[in-house]
Amino acid sequence: MLLIDKLINIVPLKSATGIVNVKKGSFYLEGHFPDQPVMPGVFIVEAFGQAAAALTAHGIDPKEYKNKLVYLMSVDKARFRRPVTPDCELHLDIEAIRSHGKVWKYKGVAKINGKKVADAEWAATIVERNK
């Protein structure tokens, strides 16, 4: 379930912007809410995590990342400030705050047309993929 459509403005291991094209008919809008679709906050957080995982993958040795997954460990300070509705382009400005071994800490701000709609901090870890 890939939510991000592209990753731009990449500064390896530091920052990037993930783009999510929120479209009518997207599975995560079904029933949330009837006749007034809104992207659920949990999917905004998932998109933050996907953008951060892509940022991390862009910055480390491909051999190091082969057969690995990035797991979300914690989410802190998540705030949802405005509804995210269909037919918009959601920009996820991601910043790596720090890393220690295989654990990374990130923060992100989600915007539509330059207006903040959500923000959060989270931690993730890189683990071996089960074979």
- Annotated catalytic residues are 32
For 84, half-sphere exposure in the C-beta direction (CA atoms, 13 angstrom radius) is 32
How many Cβ atoms from other residues are within 10 Å of residue 118's Cβ? 24
Strands 103-112 and 88-100: antiparallel
Residue 43, phi then psi, degrees to nearest 5: -80, -30
Tokens of 54: 């892509």
List Cβ neighbours of 108 (8 Å cut-off, separation of 6 or more). 48, 51, 52, 92, 93, 94, 95, 119, 120, 121, 122
